[in-house]
């Protein structure tokens, strides 16, 4: 499966407004163009983008109330930052402006953004917004993989057709190299290791990889650690730890973790005679 990686006007409020006020009160040098990039990062950074600074949390998707603000500040910052260009594309997607998003991602990819390469590759691979072109998708994924982007690696392995077969074993090799420093690579390699894709299936090794990525607040890895701890897969079974992992992942926007928490809250399923779910008992 090709993977993607699961918004200043008078109307802004909350943390973004507080950030703007603090910038306005800061000395003149602090109000340089980098202030636009700070706001762009706050509202539109991709948690899995290798270009993202370690101190930037990122968001799974640009929140609807933040879209206009993100577009404004990312557009301003994009002249000097490929990361801002990529994030501008994310904001455009949230605003359903696909032609603008594609244009921003093409510029970002030309400047070396491996995340933009992945997004463009996904579009070409699925035919979303552009004509389907698996050769072009493969070239983009290859460029991203060579740059060390874990999603480029996994998407390249997943892409079939065009005279080239998927190579999950090679993907695992590339991910193992990237996993030395990348939480996203640790997570992706953990998924492959847990599934036995491209090599030996090893639940304990997968759990160790998820744990490394979870320590860096990777939402998907936190959710997987919750699942592994809940079932005792690859290590000790610990319901309390599972719930804590799910809660951390859910706080970061992971949808699967939110579902898992609801199942923990309502574990008993009531079915009718035909086996259809009637309701859940919660406590």
Nearest to 20 by CA among 7, 39, 44: 39
pLDDT for the residue numbered 34 = 82
pLDDT for the residue numbered 270 = 76
pLDDT for the residue numbered 180 = 87
Of the candidate ranges 44-53, 180-189, 194-203, 245-254, the one whose mean pLDDT is the lowest: 180-189
pLDDT for the residue numbered 5 = 53
- Count the alpha carbons within 13 Å of 243 in the hemisphere toward its beta carbon: 6
Give the separation between CA 220 and CA 186, rounded to whole angstroms. Answer: 11
pLDDT band per the 50, 70, 90 thresholds, residue 166:
low
- Its sign, for the CA torsion 151, 153, 155, 158, is negative
Residue 160 has pLDDT above 70, yes or no: no
Average pLDDT of span 23-42: 65
Burial environment of residue 61 by CB neighbours within 10 A (0 to 12, 13 to 18, 19 or more)? middle
pLDDT band per the 50, 70, 90 thresholds, residue 29:
very low
Residue 27 has pLDDT above 60, yes or no: no
Average pLDDT of span 129-156: 91
Residue 19 has pLDDT above 50, yes or no: no
pLDDT band per the 50, 70, 90 thresholds, residue 168:
confident
Average pLDDT of span 134-162: 84
Average model confidence (pLDDT) across the chain: 85
- Count the alpha carbons within 13 Å of 184 in the hemisphere toward its beta carbon: 23
* Model confidence pLDDT, tens digit, residues 44-96: 999 889 999 988 989 989 999 999 999 999 999 999 999 999 999 999 999 99
The top-level CATH class assigned to 167-283 is mainly alpha
Residue 207 has pLDDT above 60, yes or no: yes
* Model confidence pLDDT, tens digit, residues 143-153: 998 898 998 98
Which three-class secondary structure state does DSSP give residue 241? Answer: helix
Question: What is the value of pTM for the model shown?
Answer: 0.68
Average pLDDT of span 93-106: 98
How does DSSP assign 179-195, residue by residue? Answer: TTT-HHHHHHHHHHHHH
């Amino acid at each position: 499966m090709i993977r993607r990686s699961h918004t200043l006007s008078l109307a802004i409020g909350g943390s973004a407004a507080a950030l703007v006020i603090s910038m306005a009160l800061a000395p003149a040098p602090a109000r340089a163009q980098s202030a636009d990039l700070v706001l762009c990062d706050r509202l539109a950074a991709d948690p899995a983008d290798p270009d993202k600074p370690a101190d930037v949390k990122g968001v799974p998707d640009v929140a609807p109330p933040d879209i206009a603000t993100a577009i404004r500040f990312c557009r301003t910052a994009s002249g000097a930052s490929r990361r801002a260009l990529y994030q501008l594309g994310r904001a455009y997607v949230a605003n359903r402006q696909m032609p603008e998003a594609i244009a921003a991602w093409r510029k970002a990819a030309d400047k070396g953004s491996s995340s933009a390469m992945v997004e463009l590759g996904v579009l070409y691979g699925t035919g979303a917004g552009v004509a389907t072109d698996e050769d072009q998708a493969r070239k983009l994924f290859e460029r991203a993989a060579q740059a060390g982007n874990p999603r480029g690696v996994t998407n390249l392995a997943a892409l079939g057709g065009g005279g080239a077969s998927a190579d999950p074993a090679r993907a695992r090799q590339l991910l193992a190299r990237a996993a030395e420093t990348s939480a996203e690579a640790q997570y992706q390699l953990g998924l492959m290791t847990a599934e036995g894709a491209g090599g030996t299936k090893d639940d304990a090794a997968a759990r160790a990889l998820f744990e490394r990525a979870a320590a860096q607040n990777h939402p998907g890895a936190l959710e997987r650690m919750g699942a592994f701890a809940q079932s005792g897969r690859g290590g000790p079974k610990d319901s309390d730890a599972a719930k804590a992992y799910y809660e951390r992942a859910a706080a970061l926007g992971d949808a699967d973790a939110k579902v898992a928490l609801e199942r923990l809250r309502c574990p008993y399923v009531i079915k009718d005679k035909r086996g259809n779910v009637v309701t859940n008992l919660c406590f």
